[in-house]
Each structure stands twice: as structure tokens, then as C-alpha cells.
Amino acid sequence: MLSYTELRMKKVKEFLNDLKKIIKEITWPNRETLIQLTVVVILVSVVSGAFLGAADFGFTKLISLITLR
């Protein structure tokens, strides 16, 4: 009969072996695709930030005009 610790270690080893098999099945992007997708994420972040910054600035000015400050 296995002790609690031995049983837990057996389960951990099974999990790690399963994880290793799953990771080998993953289709990882090549370098070119990775660079392209990184550029897309950066551009979308910059455009979103600019839009939100402009919207914030506009709403701040609008509220200032409404409250006459």
C-alpha cells in the first residue's frame, strides 16, 4: 500500500508526463509570425491608448465648459 506522500508524488509525476505530451502537440508560431503578431498587438495598444487619451481630454474639456470652471 502506498503512503499518502508516495501517492501524491505518483500523481504529480503523471501530471507532468501528461503536460509534457500536451506541450509537444502544440503548434508554436514561427519567428516571422511571432514578430508580426507582436507588432499588431503594439499598434492596437498605441491606437487604443491614443483614442482613450483623446476621449478623456475631450470629456474633461466638455465637463469644464458645462461647469463653467
Cα distance between residue 19 and residue 60, in whole Å: 51
Contact yes or no for 10/2 (Cβ under 8 A): yes
Residues 6+ apart with CB under 8 A from 10: 2
* pLDDT tens-digit map of 5-23: 999 999 999 999 999 999 9
Domain of residue 31, residue span: 4-67
Cα distance between residue 17 and residue 23, in whole Å: 10
What is this structure's pTM?
0.62
Number of domains present in the structure of the chain? 1
User: What is the mean predicted confidence (pLDDT) over 55-60?
Assistant: 97
Contact yes or no for 37/29 (Cβ under 8 A): yes
What are 8's three cell numbers?
A: 501524491
